[in-house]
Amino acid sequence: MNTFSTQPRRSMSDGAQRRQLLKALACAPLMGLPGGVALAGGNNAASARGRAPLGVAISACDDDSGQHYASCTSYSGVERWRRPIKERAHGATRHPDKPWALIFARRPGTEINVFHLDSGEQIARIVAAPDRHFYGHGVFSPDGGLLYTTENAIARGEGRIGIYDVNRGFARIGEFNSGGVGPHEIRLHPNGQLLVIANGGILTRPETGRVKLNLDTMQSNLTLLDRVSGEIQWQDSPSHHQLSLRHLDVGRDGTIVAGYQYQGPASDQRPLVVMKRPSGTGLEELPLPLEYLPQLKQYIASIAITPDGQLAVATAPRGNLITLWNLQTGELDSTLDFADCAGVLAVPATNETPAGFVVSNGRGEWLLIDEDGLPALGPVRLANTHWDNHLALM
């Protein structure tokens, strides 16, 4: 079955119409398209600033037998190394200075694995504190001395941000209240002082696995937390309490784009992409054309923002759709069909590939689209591979 389509989806802006026309020419992969050198923004931005990206991404994956791995793969879909891990992993990040890739266990996992980017050698394994488990994401302080992770205080059912001292072998030295329940993705704000936290609002406990225990009373939020004092500097919640704000990216100017996963009735019509502008006082929920609501099935997986802050990509694996959003107008710009798409990462140009976005899916496919949202390379399929939900720039 074809998992990728270049057929036009809808009539939108002039730029989108131009892209839709060009898609008809993109049936074969395009190699070596020109692209300006740019650092990707978000996990993407703050983490990439001041160093040259290596042209590879880190992602968690499973093989056909269910064995869990960390994988280092080039933007063009060539795997550099793969290492087995004990627990299924989710997100990843890179140390700002050292050639280390960290990959975080998926909820309710209890380990973080640290690998050398060149060799894949395991550097360290971090184990969660008693009465804590990880939520699959973490971020470093600007100088790389501290690691902040999203965690669950299991007995209390409250979100925590764990703090680890990198220079003391990742010793856990404290924690902050995350400002909500179920903290998921966390990013460093470009100002270097704030942590951007998606508190998903969903209560779970290890003994009941991934069962959601509080759907009637849940409340998610987006929180900006001072990483030194632990004080909440800003917080806002979605328009409906069952909109779970879980994944996000942060642009170089401080624009935050996040995705919802709605936990209410399937017949409801709710927004799925939300933005916080640098000067905005609250969350701005972006309108989704009505014809897309049934297809997206109320679920956004991952978010990435272009380095220039003009465009964001949000993946919808249940709808088999890559969506591209104009951040100046707040409107849906264009779409691409890509089956089970989940991971997305804004990437800079290399000698082999243009600047744009890498998108992965659960079928082991890896697609590169350029900064205009046009297919540039792939999809390339890696046998015996099922990519997890996220990609991280290295």
What's the pLDDT tens digit per position in 322-346? 999 999 999 999 999 999 999 999 9
**Does a structural domain hold residue 62?**
no
Residue 198 has pLDDT above 80, yes or no: yes
% of residues, the chain, pLDDT over 70: 87
Residue 111 lies in a domain: yes
- The CATH number of residue 217's host domain is 2.130.10.10
- Cα R_g (the chain), whole angstroms: 19
Distances (CA, A) of 4 to 51, 99, 118, 312, 379: 34, 34, 32, 20, 8
pLDDT at 51: 61
Residue 264 has pLDDT above 70, yes or no: yes
Predicted TM-score (pTM) of this structure: 0.89
Asked whether residue 71 is assigned to any structural domain, the reply reads: no
Q: Which domain holds residue 174?
A: 4-51+76-393
Q: What is the pLDDT of residues 43-91, one digit of tens each?
A: 553 344 556 678 999 999 999 999 999 999 999 999 999 999 999 999 9
Instruction: Give domain status of residue 222, yes or no.
Output: yes
> Based on the structure, what is the number of domains in the chain?
1
Give the separation between CA 71 and CA 79, rounded to whole angstroms: 7
Cα separation, 78 vs 174, in Å, equals 39
Reading phi first (left if > 0) and then psi (alpha if -120 to 50, else beta), residue 138 is in beta
| Tens of pLDDT, residues 230-253 | 999 999 999 999 999 999 999 999
Report, as an integer, the average pLDDT of 250-260.
96
pLDDT at 323: 96
- Say what the pLDDT of residue 153 is: 97
User: What pLDDT, on a 0 to 100 scale, did the predictor assign at position 273?
Assistant: 98
In a domain, 65, yes or no: no
pLDDT at 13 over 90: no
Which pLDDT does position 339 carry in this prediction?
A: 96
Q: What is the pLDDT of residues 88-116, one digit of tens each?
A: 999 999 999 999 999 999 999 999 999 99
* Sheet with strand 221-226: strands edge to edge: 183-188, 194-199, 221-226, 232-236
Q: What would the pLDDT profile of 283-328 be if each residue is shown by its tens digit?
A: 999 999 999 999 999 999 999 999 889 999 999 999 999 999 999 9
Q: How many CB atoms lie within 10 A of CB 351?
A: 6
pLDDT > 50? residue 170: yes
Q: What's the chain's average pLDDT?
A: 88
- Residue 205: predicted pLDDT: 87
Residue 250 falls inside a structural domain: yes
User: Per the domain annotation, does 297 fall within a domain?
Assistant: yes
Please report whether residue 99 resides in a domain: yes
Q: To 5 degrees, how large is the angle CA 357–CA 358–CA 363?
A: 145
